[in-house]
């Protein structure tokens, strides 16, 4: 945009700054509750000042098996991400490069799958897992999460590869490179940033997911997201433990998205530019 | 080839032949097979784990099927669907879901557009601000619900206590009153997703042709004219994309409703997803819950179709394709 007065820029920046601060206040509250003693969280009237303490962290390690929760969360998101990429990146590539007239139709099919409400497939899936004896293990969560996420990855990579020129791969193929070689040595490196965006979103979706693990896992296989609900519900466990637990469940994802912001933006605006 | 022969140069048939041969080599049968086997696993996986359960759900929806009394399973035709529209609670859930979706996406579009216009100037400051603004969208939706439940509680909540004391809103807290709960949920959704909406719209703004904007500025168009006559029409495709994405998500809202109100008080915030989860996985009313799930899919498909039609028409009108 053309030249504007410094005053206007200043006004805009002040507005943006104020909006950002107001939007982030609830997040700041969540983080700070973790360092408040319980009697100061529940004071009348509610107050903002507090003496910092690490009691809440000691509490959650007493109430929850935090290591086991973390292990489940990591297993679920790692499994989902790896499987989704293994399935989704090649299929996105194939659909983008195919000259079949059904290719775009298939790509839209993956997009549509992503839009289906979770509950519609969850109930039959629940019965299916019960019948084959996977109910209660985090494998069940990985299997259904992979379905949704590989659909997402396929769609993302489809639009990403379609925007990349074919010339490089075709040159590699005519130079005697194998089909797989052209994919791994030429196409995948060229699509690196799209793949990073996919990883970010897969980790985020599966780590934050709560509906599937709530019904598909049991006490010893449940991830952090399910534990958060129990952290809130019980009487002697307080908002403080919610805040403390969020340090493990929420803050890592937020930081990851913040540091990989470029890829987050890329993934979220896929299809606009 | 005709060129070479007409100039009288000795025709070298080898070169064009090779060129002719090497062209289709980039898309031979082996290439076709390779691409097929690259796509097949994902398609197969989604068919088995995604489409098959959906088909089963479709099938179950015609049965009276309760896991607690499986021996009483019986084919009942469309009775489950009729029951949805006869049940006051379920009707309320449909109305709530639409009210939630339309209001919340509408507000997000308005505020998101304002935010995108504010952030339009490409500067380091704005990029960093946007990165921080997007934090709500990356927080576990469940935690978002819990944060607001805590903040709005009338007894110890940082916001709720003072609101209740100042006599604003119901004494029991905004989330526990049937009149205000749904609106609070809408505002929570706006807090969480407005920045994402702004991000998508901003990407659209940044891809606008700058020369047109510069020209209009040079011609002396006011800011308002530039916005309504140039920015808005050119932005229509981005706006509709953002609307489609957010509408689908808002219609499937579950986490934040489930943890803040659980659908209450008195079904005032019950949405289709919450209703289906309760019926299916708490009361094990598989047939009825499947019917609700299918109705939800139907609604989503209809909304997607309507929005896609609108996109296409707007696109035709603007770009004249």
Q: Are residues B117 and B204 in the same domain?
A: yes
Span A218-232, pLDDT tens digits: 878 888 888 887 766
* Alpha helix positions (H), B139-267: 141-152, 160-165, 181-206, 210-218, 223-225, 232-251, 255-260
Q: How far is B1 from chain A (nearest CA, A)?
A: 23
**A107 touching B (Cβ < 8 Å):** no
pLDDT of res. B21: 47
Residue A273 lies in a domain: no
pLDDT of res. A243: 85
Q: Are residues B36 and B136 in the same domain?
A: no
Q: Are residues B96 and B217 in the same domain?
A: yes
- 3-class DSSP string for A131-174: HHCCCECHHHHHHHHHHHHHHHHHHHHHHHHHHCCCHHHHHHHH
Residue B254 lies in a domain: yes
Interchain contact, A24 vs B36, CB within 8 Å: no
Interchain contact, B292 vs A119, CB within 8 Å: yes
Indicate which CATH number applies to the domain containing A165: 1.10.3720.10
What is the distance between the alpha carbons of residues A176 and B266, in angstroms, rounded to a whole number? 69
Q: Are residues A160 and A247 in the same domain?
A: yes
Q: Are residues A110 and A171 in the same domain?
A: yes
What residues of B are in contact with residue A229 (Cβ under 8 Å)? Answer: 142, 146, 259
Q: Are residues B79 and B159 in the same domain?
A: yes
Number of domains making up chain A: 2
**A268 touching B (Cβ < 8 Å):** yes
Q: Is the pLDDT of residue B1 over 50?
A: no
Span B105-147, pLDDT tens digits: 999 999 999 999 999 888 899 999 999 999 999 998 888 988 8
Six token digits for residue A29: 């509250």
Q: Are residues B29 and B80 in the same domain?
A: no
pLDDT of res. A81: 96
Q: Are residues A27 and A151 in the same domain?
A: no
The closest of A207, A187, A169 to A75, measured between CA atoms, is A207
State which residues form the domain around A17. 6-57
Number of domains making up chain B: 2
Helices first, then strands: H and E counts in chain A: 16, 0
Surface of B (198-237) touching A: CB under 8 A: 199-200, 203-204, 206-207, 210, 213-214, 217
Span A241-271, pLDDT tens digits: 888 888 888 888 999 999 999 999 988 887 6
Q: Are residues B19 and B138 in the same domain?
A: no
Q: Is the pLDDT of residue B7 over 60?
A: no
Sign of the CA dihedral running B301, B302, B305, B307: negative
Q: Are residues A209 and A264 in the same domain?
A: yes
**A133 touching B (Cβ < 8 Å):** no
Residue B57 lies in a domain: no
Residue B65 lies in a domain: no
Q: Are residues A48 and A145 in the same domain?
A: no
Phi, psi of A65 (to 5 degrees): -85, 80
Give A85's pLDDT tier (boundaries 50, 70, 90).
very high
pTM for the whole structure = 0.87
Residue B297 lies in a domain: yes
Under a CB-based contact definition with an 8 Å cutoff, are residues B144 and B188 in contact?
yes
Centroid of chain to Cα B273? 15
Burial A225-248 (b: 16+ CB within 10 A, else e): bbbbbebbeeeebbbbbbbbbbbb
Indicate which CATH number applies to the domain containing B247: 1.10.3720.10
Q: Are residues A53 and A69 in the same domain?
A: no
**B110 touching A (Cβ < 8 Å):** no
Span A105-121, pLDDT tens digits: 998 899 888 888 888 88
> What residue of A is the nearest CA neighbor of B54?
A121
The closest of A215, A223, A212 to A250, measured between CA atoms, is A223
State which residues form the domain around B37. 14-48
Residue A220 lies in a domain: yes
What is the distance between the alpha carbons of residues B298 and B308, in angstroms, rounded to a whole number? 15
Residue A41 lies in a domain: yes
How many cross-chain Cβ pairs, A to B, lie less than 8 Å apart?
269
Six token digits for residue A90: 């090649």
Report the DSSP pairing between strands B74-75 and B63-64.
antiparallel
Q: Are residues A52 and A156 in the same domain?
A: no
Residue A71 lies in a domain: yes
Q: Are residues A38 and A136 in the same domain?
A: no
- Please report which helix (H) or strand (E) contains residue B63, including its range: strand B63-64
Q: Are residues A50 and A132 in the same domain?
A: no
User: CB under 8 Å to A100, separation ≥6 — which residues?
Assistant: none
Six token digits for residue B18: 């090779």
The closest of B59, B248, B43, B259 to B144, measured between CA atoms, is B259
Q: Are residues B31 and B174 in the same domain?
A: no
Residue B138 lies in a domain: yes
Span A178-197, pLDDT tens digits: 888 889 988 999 999 999 99
Angle between helices B124-133 and B181-206 (to 10 degrees): 150
Surface of B (68-97) touching A: CB under 8 A: none
Span B185-222, pLDDT tens digits: 999 999 999 999 999 999 999 888 888 888 888 888 88
Q: Are residues A32 and A148 in the same domain?
A: no
Q: Are residues B190 and B124 in the same domain?
A: yes
Residue B268 lies in a domain: yes
Q: Are residues B31 and B80 in the same domain?
A: no
User: CB under 8 Å to A79, separation ≥6 — which residues?
Assistant: A138, A139, A142, A146
Six token digits for residue B9: 């140069």
Interchain contact, A269 vs B200, CB within 8 Å: yes
Six token digits for residue B95: 């109305």
Q: Are residues A85 and A16 in the same domain?
A: no
pLDDT of res. B22: 47
From the list B34, B139, B293, the residue facing A119 with the nearest CB is B293
Span B46-64, pLDDT tens digits: 999 999 999 999 999 999 8
Q: Are residues A134 and A219 in the same domain?
A: yes
Residue B66 lies in a domain: no
Residue B67 lies in a domain: no
């Amino acid at each position: 945009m053309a030249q504007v007065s410094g005053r206007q820029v200043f006004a805009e920046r002040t507005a943006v700054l104020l909006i950002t601060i107001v939007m982030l206040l609830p997040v700041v509250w969540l983080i700070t509750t973790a360092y408040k003693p319980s009697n100061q969280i529940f004071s009348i009237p509610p107050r903002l000042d507090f003496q910092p303490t690490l009691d809440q962290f000691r509490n959650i390690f007493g109430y929850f098996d935090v290591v086991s929760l973390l292990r489940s969360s990591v297993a679920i998101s790692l499994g989902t991400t790896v499987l989704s990429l293994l399935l989704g990146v090649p299929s996105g590539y194939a659909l983008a490069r195919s000259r079949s007239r059904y290719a775009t139709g298939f790509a839209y099919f993956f997009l549509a799958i992503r839009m289906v409400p979770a509950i519609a497939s969850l109930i039959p899936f629940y019965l299916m897992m019960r019948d084959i004896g996977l109910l209660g293990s985090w494998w069940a969560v990985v299997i259904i999460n992979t379905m949704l996420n590989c659909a997402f990855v396929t769609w993302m990579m489809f639009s990403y590869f379609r925007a990349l020129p074919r010339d490089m791969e075709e040159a590699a193929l005519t130079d005697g490179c194998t089909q797989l070689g052209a994919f791994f040595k030429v196409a995948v490196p060229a699509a690196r940033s799209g793949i990073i965006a996919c990883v970010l979103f897969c980790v985020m979706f599966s780590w934050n997911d709560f509906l599937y693990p709530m019904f598909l896992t049991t006490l010893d296989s449940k991830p952090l997201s399910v534990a958060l609900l129990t952290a809130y519900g019980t009487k002697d466990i307080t908002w403080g433990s919610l805040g403390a637990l969020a340090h493990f469940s929420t803050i890592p994802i937020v930081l990851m998205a913040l540091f990989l912001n470029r890829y987050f933006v890329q993934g979220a605006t896929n299809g606009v530019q | 080839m005709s060129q070479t022969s007409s100039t009288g140069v000795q025709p070298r048939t080898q070169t064009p032949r090779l060129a002719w041969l090497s062209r289709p080599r980039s898309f031979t049968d082996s290439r076709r097979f390779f691409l097929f086997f690259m796509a097949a696993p994902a398609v197969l996986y989604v068919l088995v784990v995604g489409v098959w359960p959906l088909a089963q759900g479709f099938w179950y929806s015609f049965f009276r099927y309760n896991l607690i009394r499986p021996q009483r399973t019986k084919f009942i035709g469309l009775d489950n669907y009729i029951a949805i529209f006869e049940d006051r609670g379920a009707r309320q859930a449909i109305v709530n879901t639409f009210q939630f979706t339309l209001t919340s996406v509408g507000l997000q579009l308005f505020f998101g557009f304002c935010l995108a216009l504010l952030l339009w100037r490409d500067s380091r400051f704005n990029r960093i601000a946007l990165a921080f603004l997007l934090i709500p969208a990356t927080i576990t939706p469940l935690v978002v619900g819990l944060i607001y439940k805590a903040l709005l509680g009338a007894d110890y909540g940082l916001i709720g206590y003072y609101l209740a004391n100042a006599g604003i809103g119901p004494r029991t807290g905004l989330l526990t009153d049937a009149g205000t709960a749904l609106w609070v949920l809408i505002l929570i959704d706006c807090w969480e997703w407005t920045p994402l909406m702004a991000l998508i719209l901003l990407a659209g703004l940044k891809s606008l042709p700058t020369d047109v904007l510069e020209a209009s500025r040079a011609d002396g168009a006011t800011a308002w004219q530039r916005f309504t006559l140039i920015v808005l029409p050119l932005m229509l495709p981005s706006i509709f994309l953002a609307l489609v994405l957010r509408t689908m998500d808002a219609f499937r809202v579950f986490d934040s409703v489930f943890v803040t109100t659980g659908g209450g008080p008195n079904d005032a915030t019950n949405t289709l997803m919450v209703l289906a989860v309760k019926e299916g996985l708490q009361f094990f009313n598989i047939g009825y819950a499947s019917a609700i799930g299918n109705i939800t899919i139907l609604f989503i498909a209809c909304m997607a179709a309507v929005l896609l039609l609108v996109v296409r028409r707007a696109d035709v009108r603007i770009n004249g394709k």
